[in-house]
């Protein structure tokens, strides 16, 4: 007899139902991002299906949803406009190969270098971007700013707003969707509240023949299975020079967004994903997608939040979302096209509320002002440009702030030892930011003939630190002083050996000798 664990059954049910919810929300986003990239809707839908399925199967973060995203679409649009969709497919293949190499060489670990204020700014900025992306649903169809004229990853959205009863109907259905999602879990958790809200609002619109836009008004999602297709581009150096810069940018944006989303899901689920495996999974997914007529993709924080909040934790949730999406394309398109856009907009607004770190308003006055500045900066850059640029800017600014602050912490304590030698005790890190302050604290004229510089409480971090030591040694030797550098760290000695003739290594002495001598005194 086989015994099925109740927790396993509940987990499978949650994964399947959350997958269905995600699939329903994927449809309008995939279609909209296709318009942003300047390609047919099925190109975005195929990407959402294939990228979502492959990353769910072999990626490094169960429960995370991947698909066509606006962060990539806004980069693709200029390539498609200048060279055509076939060059896009070739670029997606190359993008995937670069991402696989990033995983093979274990570059995913560098996501640890992203500071927490950058993470908060990324999350807040992305919540704002998702919110702005939904505003185009409140515009009049066919007017500038409605779908085709909207930028989803930043820039101000110029919308010709709905008016009168149309706007009231849209707002009413959106708020009804949000109310169901918010209050239903207080009554029952048997069904994901997002899925229940979509079904209830759809039945209400269909039953009462309410005049509101539905998915079918955006585009038809009917189609067949994606077919294998080698991109029809010339295989020559000129083609590579065209697609390679785009591939590098897309690969970087895709990995940054995916790895940051992975970290966010890790925090929510209190589990740990595998960054390098996710890089390989994203790369394989994009390589395959490029050969099957898809626009490529990466992790989707909005859909991932829908999935996690709906109870999806395992790989089955992502797999089922992709398969449900394929089912919609093949056989259920007439039904899916009847879903009101207001219901899906309401779901995404709930995602915005759940994604935004509201606590950041409370902590802004409690954290160091530099961290608060980075948080606000990353949020603003995310909205103004794109996620990858924002994260890179945030990391660079955080690193510069860190270097500036640590440059202030180096100091030198002067004393005389039992032999009458002048001993300088260096405290703090010696690196490019602190070398000027370090050198200013030494005066060869004031020292005895025998000088000891003790690095026991200091670490030499880079070549600038080595050059500072070399400069200092030269000053004292030119002044006729005998100089001893002691207690240099093992890492510093390695740097000195590697530097070779660039630094005077003959003035360095074994720190153990001085420790032993001090103990005998």
pLDDT digits 0-9 by tens, 181-210: 889 888 887 777 888 888 899 999 999 999
Residues of the chain above pLDDT 70, percent: 88
Query: Lowest mean pLDDT: which of 211-220, 281-290, 449-458?
Result: 211-220
Residue 152 has pLDDT above 50, yes or no: no
**Which pLDDT tens digit goes with each residue over 409-431?**
888 998 888 888 889 999 988 88
Model-wide pTM > 0.75: no
pLDDT of residue 280: 95
pLDDT score for 520? 37
| 191 compared with 86, residue with greater pLDDT | 86
Q: What is the mean pLDDT of residues 98-104?
A: 94
Q: Which residues lie across from 482 on neighbouring strands?
A: 450
CB 53 within 8 A of CB 45: no
pLDDT value, residue 500: 54
- pLDDT, one tens digit per residue, over 357-401 is 888 888 888 888 889 999 999 989 888 877 778 888 998 999 888
Alpha helix stretches (DSSP H) within 192-271: 193-207, 215-218, 237-269
Domains located in the chain, CATH noted: 8-378 (no CATH), 411-520 (3.30.750.24)
Place 53 in a pLDDT band, splitting at 50, 70 and 90. Answer: very high
Q: Which residues contact 224 (CB under 8 A, 6 or more apart)?
A: 329, 330
The predicted model gives 301-318 an average pLDDT of: 88
Q: How confident is the model at residue 506 (pLDDT cuts 50, 70, 90)?
A: very low
Mean pLDDT check: name the lowest of 60-69, 133-142, 252-261, 371-380.
133-142
Contact 476, 422 (CB under 8 A): no
- Token pair of 248 as six digits: 């590098």
CB proximity list for 358: less than 8 A, separation 6 or greater: none
The CA dihedral of 454, 458, 462, 464, to the nearest 10 degrees, is -60
pLDDT (0 to 100) of residue 519: 38
Type and span of the H or E element at 429: strand 422-430
Q: Looking at residue 383, what is its pLDDT?
A: 81
* Both structure tokens of 476: 């004292």
pLDDT of residue 482: 82
Helices 301-309 and 237-269, axial angle in degrees (round to 10) = 30
Q: Which helix (H) or strand (E) holds 333?
A: helix 333-336
Question: Would you put residue 483 in left (φ > 0), alpha (ψ -120 to 50) or beta?
Answer: beta
Name the band, by pLDDT with cuts 50, 70 and 90, for residue 503. very low
pLDDT score, position 142: 54
The 10s digit of each residue's pLDDT in 232-279 is 999 999 999 999 999 998 998 899 889 988 988 988 888 888 989 999
Whether residue 145 contacts residue 317, with contact meaning beta carbons closer than 8 Å, is answered with no
Q: Which pLDDT score, from 0 to 100, does residue 295 have?
A: 94
Residue 17, pLDDT > 70, answer yes
Quote the crossing angle between the two packed helices 116-135 and 301-309, to the nearest 10°: 90
pLDDT of residue 325: 92
Compute the mean pLDDT over every residue in the chain, rounded to the nearest whole number: 83
């Amino acid at each position: 007899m086989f015994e099925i664990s109740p927790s396993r059954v509940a987990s499978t049910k949650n994964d399947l139902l959350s997958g269905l919810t995600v699939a329903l929300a994927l449809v309008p986003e995939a279609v909209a991002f296709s318009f942003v990239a300047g390609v047919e809707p099925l190109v975005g839908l195929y990407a959402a299906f294939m990228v979502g399925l492959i990353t769910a199967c072999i990626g490094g973060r169960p429960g995370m949803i991947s698909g066509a995203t606006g962060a990539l679409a806004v980069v693709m649009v200029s390539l498609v406009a200048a060279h055509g969709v076939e060059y896009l497919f070739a670029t997606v293949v190359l993008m995937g190969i670069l991402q696989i190499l990033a995983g093979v060489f274990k570059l995913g670990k560098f996501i640890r270098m992203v500071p927490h204020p950058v993470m908060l700014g990324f999350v807040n900025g992305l919540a704002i971007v998702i919110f702005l992306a939904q505003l185009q649903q409140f515009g009049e169809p066919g007017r500038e700013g409605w779908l085709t004229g909207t930028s989803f990853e930043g820039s101000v959205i110029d919308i010709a707003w709905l008016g009168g009863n149309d706007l009231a109907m849209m707002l009413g259905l959106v708020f009804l969707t949000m109310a169901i999602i918010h209050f239903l879990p207080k009554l029952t958790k048997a069904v994901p509240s997002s899925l229940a809200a979509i079904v209830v609002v759809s039945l209400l619109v269909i039953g009462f023949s309410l005049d509101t836009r539905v998915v079918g008004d955006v585009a038809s999602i009917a189609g067949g299975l994606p077919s294998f297709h080698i991109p029809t581009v010339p295989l020559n150096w000129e083609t590579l020079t065209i697609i390679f810069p785009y591939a590098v940018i897309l690969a970087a944006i895709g990995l940054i967004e995916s790895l940051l989303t992975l970290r966010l899901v890790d925090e929510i689920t209190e589990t740990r994903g595998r960054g390098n495996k996710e890089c390989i999974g994203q790369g394989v997914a994009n390589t395959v997608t490029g050969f099957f007529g898809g626009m490529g993709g990466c992790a989707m924080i909005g859909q991932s939040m829908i999935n996690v909040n709906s109870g999806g934790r395992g790989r089955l949730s992502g797999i089922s979302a992709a398969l449900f999406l394929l089912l919609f394309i093949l056989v259920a398109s007439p039904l899916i096209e009847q879903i009101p856009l207001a219901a899906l907009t309401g779901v995404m607004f709930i995602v915005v509320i759940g994604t935004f770190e509201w606590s950041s308003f409370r902590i802004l006055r409690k954290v160091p002002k530099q961290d608060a500045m980075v948080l606000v900066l990353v949020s603003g850059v995310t909205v103004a440009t794109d996620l990858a640029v924002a994260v890179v800017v945030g990391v660079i600014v955080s690193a510069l702030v860190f270097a500036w602050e640590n440059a202030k912490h180096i100091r030198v304590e002067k004393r005389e030892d039992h032999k009458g030698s002048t001993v300088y005790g260096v405290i703090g890190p010696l690196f490019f930011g602190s070398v000027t302050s370090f050198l200013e604290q030494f005066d060869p004229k004031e020292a005895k003939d025998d000088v000891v510089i003790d690095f026991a409480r200091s670490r030499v971090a880079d070549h600038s630190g080595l050059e500072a030591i070399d400069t200092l040694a030269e000053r004292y030797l030119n002044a006729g002083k005998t100089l001893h550098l002691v207690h240099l760290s093992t890492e510093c000695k390695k740097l000195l050996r590697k530097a070779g003739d660039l630094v005077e290594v003959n003035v360095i002495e074994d720190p153990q000798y001085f420790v032993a001598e001090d103990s005998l005194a």
